[in-house]
Structure 1
């Protein structure tokens, strides 16, 4: 009698735990799909109308390629949490059109980079002709990019910082931050500086907020940007373009 009662109690406990886990998973799935920050239509239209950029909505992600087909450097770019991947097309189109970089913007599982276990090669397969790859990302996407950095030639961070320790590597790193960022604040980025190689280049863009690194509108908890979208796009294009050019030169040398 006691054994039967004990079994029933164990079965009830396991069943309850199973129900809690299932409900938790369902909750996460629902939460990940609610409140996704959509790409703003006008910046995205500028990409679609750009004759120097070819867009391919591929299985691996959104591929932006230079129209002349000449690309030696690629960038795998991971979006921030619950941000539409298309929201990064406008800010990244400059390095495609002006510097010949092929960009693959990933679509993280459940709109959250931490739930996406795929490696860099799952995305670089979209452009097998590209020889050298940068991995990068915005916010949470940048944290994930740090975890994948060992499989790339360089790391690019937009309003982000690493949790993985890359300090002892010789990896080229460019970290762009915003002076008005209310989420990945300049203080948080400075606190995580020791996890990057000594040679890493950190640039704080005056007037930029967290959401300035994508085109998806204001974000809760963020600061107020004082830089225009056009100026932000031009600044990011200049900085990332030079970073890609330096990588290309080092590879060629």
Structure 2
């Protein structure tokens, strides 16, 4: 007497075993393909006066996961009140070895303090230069100078971000507060810092640029393997 499964079932289980053997490594690779984005910035990144889940990095990470980027972690390296000089001074420890990509959001406090745009440009250029030397792709989040500082100051300051992005081949989000600046319902009582809802608008608008950053970081990882 012969013992065993009927031929059709044998073929079915053989096919299933083959499928599982091919898909298991792919699933393992996907699970281990983590990525860390560090957001280097000021109070706009830090989440000034917001709850633990309401700030930029928290909302961005949540939006990325909802968009299918489940293994991406966004690290909050924002310090309230920081200028471009402060960001440069803490760059080496703020952007640790775990970073795969960086969002640079600095310059708002430079403009509010009417710091010489040439200094801001110099600092941001040095930050980008150091990050690129480490092989880290950069998304540069732009800022605009308050109009009360005058036309000349505004032109010199506002041109920093597109100029730097073009010369260094960076991904540029022209104005970090796009859709939020000047909207009373989306800002705290100070009229400067966004509410949780305001941060939501920022995240929604910057998300496509962050996805470009992720794609660039993955390409670099693949090329390095």
TM-score band, normalised by the shorter chain? 0.3 to 0.5
More helix by share: 2
More strand by share: 1
Higher RCO by CA contacts (8 Å cutoff, separation 6 or greater)? 2
TM-score scaled by structure 1? 0.43
Larger radius of gyration: 2
